[in-house]
Amino acid sequence: MMLRGLQPLLGVDTASLSLDLVYVLWLFIVTLAWNWNVWLIPMRWAFPYQTPSNIYLWLLTDYLCDLIYILDIMVFQPRLQFVLGGDIVDMRKNYMKTFRFKMDVISLVPLELFYFKTGINPLLRFPRLLKVMSFFEFNDRLEAILTKAYVYRVIRTTTYLLYCLHCNACLFYWISAYEGLGSTKWVYDGKGNSYIRCYYFAVKTLITIGGLPEPTTLFEIIFQLVNYFVGVFAFSIMIGQMRDVVGAATSGQTYYRACMDNTVKYMASYRIPKDVQNRVKTWYNYTWQSQGMLDEQELLVQLPDKMRLDIAVDVNYDIVSKVSLFQGCDRQMIFDMLKSLRSVVYLPGDYVCKKGEVGREMYIIKAGEVQVVGGPDGKTVFVTLKSGSVFGEISLLAVGGGNRRTANVVAHGFANLFILDKKDLNEILVHYPESQKLLRKKTTKKSEISIPNYNIFRQDRTAKGGGVAIYCRDSLQSSVILSRSVPKQFELLIIKINLSRNKSLISLSACYRPPSAPSCALDTICELTAPHLSSEFVLLGDLNWDMLNTPAVLQSKLDALNLTQIIKEPTRYNPKSVNMGTLRYYPDQLALQIHLCCFQSGSQRPLPHCLHPLWARGQTTTPYHCQTLPKTLLRAGLSNRPGPGILAGY
């Protein structure tokens, strides 16, 4: 009943005090009481500081410390949660079976009852020193809380040394008083502050400074010999402990230096160029200064899954949760994804990914900036992505393989990126199908620029041909940039479309090269197109190029223009498709997804390059047949006057 009354008063919770800062604070109070006994019992025994005039103050503090011991045994320790469960009865039984409980009980043996016979002798309180396990537990829990625990370890080791000197000073004064103060040159002469003088003697003796009076009696000689031996061993132990403490405090720095030195030696042995060596050194220095470690995964791999998740959530969740791509996804899916993120540091000018690489990772910018570059010289900056931006997600979430990067991404200054591997993401999304659908939908919407307000008209294939026309009821503001026609060689038209709804400017190029045209016509087309390339550019048309026999020639032309061929075969019309008439955005080009079904007139063989954007004005709603659309429509109705238009293919 008494304990139940004390519980709300003390704020004691039977749940888990061992994990609570309140319990650490209580251990600090118990440690203070223990230190009172450890330091003052020998001093009060040896030095004449305990007098009849102040004895009541000493006894009041002693019994206050005893009360703290009793509360610890009866209130706090039995209520600590342990592995067998949290029942209060079971916890009390478990505590009473431990060696610690026996030591705590012995420490409270009331030897003070002998005060009535021997007088108030502090040595009778010597059992109070047996509650040393509370002191050790406090040290362990405090080190777990402190950020720089090595500072506390240095202070604690120094305190051990001071306590040894304290005990030696007490013994020296007791021996001096036993033989008589000032009776010989070796003993304390009774002048000055007794504790300071004796402590000074202990320091010179244990540290073996020398310059002390020679002991004269046998008892003095034996005491001095023991002092010398204890001093040698004590200081050897203290120096070893201090070395271990300092070594543990600088272990990370030592590991960093060892890794860097080994890498430098490796590069020197293989004669790596100096500029590469300097970049490697810069990476080491920046990574260590920014993170305090070289690889976060090395530290986390030893932890259980739950603890790794807790750390990942605390460190990275705020960054990832602000990424628009993951907003609305299952919260647990994001937690699982956080465990798979890898943090990588890139130096200024480092390529994060290069055009043509197969996309196997997605990147989240944790800190710094990256730039999407391209163009004929590979240095044109299309866009600068800052902290919180995501790139590479389209390749990561695309179904199937062969998802190649369409642009170069370069670090603009120092950049710290999170990398998520495609395999890891797929393993996670298997358990979260709704989040998978949402992510695919978001990546599709992110890469689309829709043409508003349109109808699709379809003509199925017959012996006379077939095709699809898209009728746009709204005006598409456009302007002609280039219109060139060379008889029997090519027809080329480049227009710029302004989709005000999306605030986007798209360069669209339509090209036709007859089968009989010379190969040099392709070079001319490239020369005319190159000055008008932009980050949103698409080149569509019928080039009539033999891809089976000479694919490398056409590929070299596309590489020179920094373009990637997306459509490599005739597009099929799918009536269930939801992406009709959309322009998909990629960093280097736009792929027109109209899903056309186009065939050469009078033939069942599809053209190798069959897409052609055709523009017309007027209120026409009749579907066009492919063979009836003249090429002159390529240059028809491209002014900025309002009116509907038709985008078609043949």
354 close to 373: Cβ distance less than 8 angstroms:
no
How would residue 173 be classed by pLDDT, with cut points 50, 70 and 90?
Answer: very high
Count the neighbouring beta carbons within 10 Å of the beta carbon of residue 613: 20
pLDDT in tens, 232-264: 888 788 888 778 877 777 777 787 788 888 888
Which residues are bridge partners to 541 per DSSP? Answer: 511
Which residues are bridge partners to 491 per DSSP? Answer: 485, 512
- φ/ψ (deg, to 5) at 263: -65, -40
The sign of the CA dihedral 332, 335, 340, 344 is positive
Secondary structure class of 363 (helix, strand, coil): strand
Predicted local distance difference test score (pLDDT) of residue 601: 28
pLDDT in tens, 573-604: 343 333 333 333 222 222 333 322 222 222 33
Count the neighbouring beta carbons within 10 Å of the beta carbon of residue 320: 22
- Helix/strand/coil (H/E/C) assignment for every residue in 495-561: EEEEECCCCEEEEEEEEECCCCCCCHHHHHHHHHHHHHCCCCEEEEEECCCCCCCCHHHHHHHHHHC
For residue 101, CA distances in Å to 73, 77, 132, 137, 146 come to 8, 9, 12, 14, 28
581 close to 470: Cβ distance less than 8 angstroms:
yes
Predicted local distance difference test score (pLDDT) of residue 67: 95
How would residue 512 be classed by pLDDT, with cut points 50, 70 and 90?
Answer: confident
Tell me the whole-structure pTM to 2 decimals. Answer: 0.51
* Rounded Cα distance, 566 and 590, in Å: 9
* Rounded Cα distance, 176 and 197, in Å: 12
How would residue 643 be classed by pLDDT, with cut points 50, 70 and 90?
Answer: very low
* Rounded Cα distance, 613 and 608, in Å: 16
For residue 455, CA distances in Å to 19, 275, 469, 616 come to 66, 59, 8, 14
